[in-house]
Each structure stands twice: as structure tokens, then as C-alpha cells.
Chains A and B, each alone.
Chain A
Amino acid sequence: MLKITGLRKTFNPGTINAKTALDGLELHLKDGDFVTVIGGNGAGKSTLLNAIAGVWKPDEGKIEIDGVDVTAMPEYKRASFLGRVFQDPMKGTSPDMEIAENLAIASKRGIKRRFVRGVRKADRERFKELLTPLELGLENRLSAKVGLLSGGQRQALTLLMATMNRPKLLLLDEHTAALDPKTAAKVLELTDQIVSRNKLTTLMITHNMKDAIAHGNRLIMMHEGRIIIDVSGEEKQNLTVEQLLELFNRASGGGAVNDRMILG
């Protein structure tokens, strides 16, 4: 489904601030893979997701989604393959527009938009059905401005918007990191439901090692722009946080484990 070969990206090249964020990264995802991504700050996790999403173009390498080479495709065109949820709950929805209008825009992702009414009665019924399982009461507030919702509500809505037109690949960039623990757990549970129901191929970045082990069928750890650990199947299922840290220490040559990872 996703095939990344030799991906390289250096920010501020040729300056004293030059930083190699991706260093010849290779990653293949099978259809239906739910991969969790962990790694310290600056390991290149978000850079990887942004490269896939097309926020900027890589220096070298190739990105293929479902056999289509998207390396040079602009961000808005790639969007037809991708569902994205950002770390910042404010980023994924349009605050000054109604819930229904946000959903209407998302319902046309990857489809040619026309000069016909954007939110029709039938759409509202469909949106209600989609919102009800979230159990946030949003189905009765279709005309409310999204800016009035809480961070958790907005993130749940973003998740719905990212997946309502089944994406070939779902990109979750620490989408629960900015939420309080209870809301984060709820959004994560929702993520699991949506991913398994639609059998979505998913890349989920998290800072929480427990979450990384508990969710998905495969776990990768990044360090200095490369993948240093890649476990899946039973091996991943039986993993503990301690083992993971041990693995990390070995793979990174005893590199410092960052505080946030331990706390997670």
C-alpha cells in the first residue's frame, strides 16, 4: 500500500543549522497494516508523515501509495489518497464553519467538487448517522460552528473527516498528545474502532510506548531519520515497555533515551 525507498530530507542545508531529518529511510506497508511509530524528539517521525502527505518535497527518494508514485504530487492532490489527523486539534477543522459544512468538505475529498449546493438534506441525515457513534452529541449540533467545540470533540470530528471517504492511508500525527488523558483514551478507542471497521492502512505516531504496543499490528521506532526497530505480529504483541527500551538502547548504540519516552 505504501512503499518508501531511500527517502532523504535535510532542513537548512549548507548552514550551521543543517539537520538531516530523514536519512535514507525505507518503509513498506502492507494493505491493512496498522503501524505505530515511536522515537525521541527530532527522530524524524513527523517529518516522515509530512513527507508522505506532501507538505514539502524530499531531497531524494521515492514515495508510492498503492502503486502510484506521489513523490512530486502537490499536497492537495495527494489528499485524495490520505486521511490526516494533526497533533494540534485546531488544525484539522475549520472553526468558523458549521460542523455540517466541515463534513461536507471532507465528504468531497478526492472527488471533483461541483457548483451544486454543498450541504443538502440527505447529507445532513448521513452526517447524523456518522456522528452518532462518536457519542459526543454532535449529531444534534450540525449547524454549530466548529470553533465552539472542545479540543477532544474537534479531534474526534477530524478523525471522522479523515476517514469518511475511505483513505488508502491514514496518517495520525500524535493526534492525542494535546488532549487530557481521559479524552485522549476516548479518541484512541475511537481510532481503533474506525481503523478496524474500515480495515484502514494506518501510520500512527505516538509518544506513549504503552499505546504504541497496545495498538496496531506492527511497531517501528525511529532514530536520527532511520527506522531502527521494526517488530510485528506476535513479537510485537508480547512486547513490554522495558523490553522496548532495552531494544532501543541496543539499536541506537546506547543513545540517550529521552525523558518523554520514559514517562510515556
Chain B
Amino acid sequence: MSFLYALPGAVAEGLIWGLMAMGVYISYKILDIADLTVDGSICTGACVCAVMLGAGVPVWLCIIAAFIAGAASGVLTGLLHTALGIPSILAGILTQLILYSVNLCILGGKSLIAIDHRTNNLWVHMSRNPVSIAAMVVIIAVVIICLWMFFYTEVGLTLKSTGDNPDMSRAQGVNVKRNKVVGLAIANGIVALAGAMLAQYKGSANINDGRGAIVIALAAIFIGLSVSMKIKPNFVVSLIGVVGGGIIYYIVYNFVILMGLKTDYLKMLSAIIVAVFLAVPYLKGEYFPKHKKAAAEKNGGEVDA
């Protein structure tokens, strides 16, 4: 019974993390970059939103500002990687660390800023789950439509090929470096947008908000794609699947809390989920070779897990 009571909250929070996971999907799956910037940029989104709300700025403007701040951090990672030749994973870590200082600065040196949901007209808040769910569904639908429109343009197609085959892309006159920067900007913009929604939902922005966010996002992606790839392996269905993965993740999360698991262990649980999804296709290929071809055909084989 208490599980059903917790369900709307789990769905609302799952939708927020699903939105965030869509951003990570773009960097991890489309650009083929494990971008660790997101641990910082989700927090940047939350901080920007909370501080601007505190200054009396309307919610929609706070959200746009959060998106822009996130996109800027993506550009920074992209330039560290492409212009300065730093390996992408390290570029992400460096930006993440830079953002920790930046976020503290945004919060004015405090580690937490509260948002009052009674004085601010928030789009989402944990005290109003049905409204929050509706608002998140609308936002996610808008983001998916924008991404769908963009990624099927002449420019958008080259973003896909940049991650899929950089050699082919360059040979076809695609500026691979610029595309990586653009892709990381979009990805981190969406992540920061999710951060802004998360701050509203929780009613606060905390300097530690983003810790381990990438792992939650990857868990959502793997869970979601394991279902959606079986339905139809196209772009929009994958994005919807990723959002679904976020929801499933938070339902499971709430369930294990109610089962009595100490919250201290939850980050470990997230990491184990991701490790299992990454390991299963490898182990299948290694010890059950007949699965090897099928797994390879299914693009790395996460779907088999």
C-alpha cells in the first residue's frame, strides 16, 4: 500500500531523470562519448534555476537560462576535447571539476539554496505530483520533437554519423570536431534543463546534486533500450524508451527503499545495475560464442541483458 502511495512521486522523479538521460543518450549513444560533464551540468542547471527563482525571475526564463548554462558547459568540454586534444573522458572530468567551483559561486558560497514553492509558481513540485507529471510529460514531448526534427536534418544526420563513423564523416566533408562540440552542447543543455526541473521538484538546489548522475542516466538508458530496441530500433522510440527507463529505475528505487534497504547503499545499487548491463553482453560473447553475432548486430548487445 505504501508502495502505491509512493508511486506518483517515483514517476515524477523518474520523468525528470528520464529527461536527463535523454541528454546523456545524445553524448553516450549518438556521439559515442562517455561525457562526465553531466555530473556537474545537472547541478549547474539546478543552481541557476534556484538562484534566479530567488531573484524573482519567471520560471520559464530560469529554465531557458539553465539550458544555456548547461550548453555552455558542454561547449567547454567539447573545446577541451577537440581544440586542445584532451581525451573526451578526461575533458568531461575537468569540466565537472570546474563546474563544482562555478556552482558554488552561483550559490553564493552556500551549499544549498531553498526554493519556496508557495511564493514561486513552480512547474513541478513534490507536493503536487499529478501536475508535476503532466508538466514533465509536456516538456519531454517538446524536447523529443525538437530532437527528432533536428537529428533528421542535413546537419543532424552528420551529427549521427560523427559518432557512428568519424572516418566516413570526415571523408564526406563533415566537420567532426565542430559536431562534437555542438552535440555536447545539446546534451548538456538538456541535462541542465533536467537539473532545473529537479531543483523545482525538490524545492532546493544542493551543491552535491549531480553526484553519480551519469550512472543513474546510464542505468535508465540501458533499462529503457533493453525494452525499446525490441519494439523498434529508431531514434524517437529509443528516446521514449530512455524516459521509460528513468521511470522504471525510480519505481525500483522506491521499491527497494520500502523493502528496507538503507539509502546509503543506493548509489552502489545504481552502479551495480550499470555494471551488470555493461558486463552481460561481454560475458555472453566470451563464454557463449553463439550469442556473439547476435549481440554484435544489436549494437553492443546491451539489449540482451
Contact = CB atoms under 8 A, between A and B. Distances in A.
Interface in A185-206: none
A32 interface: no
Interface string B52-92: 00000000000000000000000000000000000000000
B172 interface: yes
Given A76-B174, A97-B161, A91 B152 contact: no
Interface string B151-195: 011111110110011011111111110000000000000000000
A97 B160 contact: yes
Contacts of B152: 117-119
Interface in A98-135: 101-102, 104-106, 108-110, 113-119
B157 A79 contact: no
Interface residues of B, number: 24
A53 to B, nearest CB: 7
Contact of A77 (B161, B167, B173, B299): B173
Given A104-B157, A115-B153, A76 B173 contact: yes
Interface residues of A, number: 36
Interface string A52-80: 01000000000000000000000111011
A86 interface: yes
B173 A91 contact: no
Q: Which of B152, B157, B161, B170 is most buried by chain A, counting CB atoms within 10 A of its CB?
A: B157
Contacts of A84: 171
A106 B299 CA distance: 23
A80 B160 CA distance: 20
B264 interface: no
Contacts of B156: 118
Interface of B: 150, 152-158, 160-161, 164-165, 167-176, 297, 299
Interface of A: 53, 75-77, 79-80, 82, 84, 86, 90-97, 101-102, 104-106, 108-110, 113-119, 147-148, 161-162
List of 9 A-B pairs having minimum Cβ-Cβ separation, nearest first: A79-B173, A113-B154, A118-B157, A94-B161, A94-B164, A94-B165, A84-B171, A109-B173, A118-B154
